[in-house]
């Protein structure tokens, strides 16, 4: 069975990160009255952000309430929206348009999923012109499903949208462990780690994947 759908992550995979997600997390924790580090949040990149916040607080044995999580998350969203709306460094990863066009030419649908909430996701899509330029066919955010990564719900939602019934005809591409776990949980035919973001080839090793690539255009030869 041929590939019908490719599901791409955003920050670090298709969107240049510049480590800003990490910095936005640390700032949001500080403004919420708590502490974390970029090193501590790195393994949680790709997870729904409220879950990542709770995990940091639990790991640090902090006393907190659901209201604290909301305060931190709301600050994180403000940080990210401002960054993606205004920062001159916001760009696609190299080869995004080339790769999306090549997939479309093969009749493969393109979906974007993310650990961000929809409000952040829409700012990025608008800023990069993906919808206007017909580069993507569907998008789904972590707050639009029951369970975000590492669960397969976002992939399943994209499959349902396109009427794709067999997940072996789906590719999942991302730069974090949660992307690999998500693709594996969905039983995707290809689960591809990319080293342009949070994880290196070495740090991907403990996680389930079928391929590792170092730039998006390397995906296309894998389909032959």
Residue by residue, pLDDT tens for the chain (224 residues) are 699 999 999 999 999 977 888 899 999 999 999 999 999 998 888 888 999 999 999 999 999 999 999 999 999 999 999 999 998 889 999 999 999 999 999 999 999 999 999 999 999 999 999 999 999 999 999 999 999 999 999 999 999 999 999 999 999 999 999 999 999 999 999 999 999 998 999 999 999 999 999 999 999 999 97
Q: In this structure, are residues 93 and 14 in contact, taking their beta carbons and an 8 Å threshold?
A: yes
- Cα dihedral 176, 97, 93, 221, rounded to 10, equals 60
* pTM attached to this predicted model: 0.90
* pLDDT at residue 18, as a whole number: 79
For domain 5-17+91-222, say whether CATH 3.40.47.10 is its number.
Answer: no
Fold of 20-86: DNA polymerase; domain 1 (1.10.150)
% helix, strand, coil for the chain, step of 5: 50, 15, 40
Q: For the chain, which residues make up each domain, given as ranges? A: 5-17+91-222, 20-86
Q: How far is CA 153 from CA 112, 159, 201, in A?
A: 13, 10, 26
Residues 6 or more apart whose Cβ sits within 8 Å of residue 30: none
- pLDDT tens digits, one per residue of 149-183: 999 999 999 999 999 999 999 999 999 999 999 99
């Amino acid at each position: 069975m041929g590939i019908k759908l490719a599901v791409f992550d955003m920050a670090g995979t298709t969107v240049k990160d510049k480590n800003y997600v990490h910095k936005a997390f640390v700032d949001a924790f500080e403004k919420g009255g708590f502490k974390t580090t970029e090193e501590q949040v790195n393994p949680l990149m790709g997870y729904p952000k409220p879950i990542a916040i709770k995990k940091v607080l639990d790991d640090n044995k902090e006393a907190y309430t659901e209201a604290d999580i909301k305060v931190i998350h709301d600050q994180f969203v403000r940080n990210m929206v401002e960054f993606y709306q205004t920062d001159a460094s916001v760009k696609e990863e190299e080869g995004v348009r080339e790769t999306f066009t090549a997939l479309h030419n093969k009749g493969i649908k393109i979906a974007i999923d993310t650990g961000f909430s929809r409000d952040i996701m829409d700012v990025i899509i608008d800023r990069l012109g993906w919808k206007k330029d017909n580069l993507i066919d569907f998008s789904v955010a972590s707050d639009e499903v029951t369970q975000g990564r590492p669960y397969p719900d976002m992939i399943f939602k994209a499959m349902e949208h396109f009427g794709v019934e067999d997940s072996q005809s789906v590719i999942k591409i991302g730069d974090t462990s949660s992307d690999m776990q998500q693709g594996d949980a969905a039983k995707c035919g290809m689960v591809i780690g990319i080293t342009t973001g949070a994880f290196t080839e070495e740090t991907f090793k403990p996680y389930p994947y079928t391929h590792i690539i170092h730039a998006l255009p390397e995906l296309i030869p894998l389909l032959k």
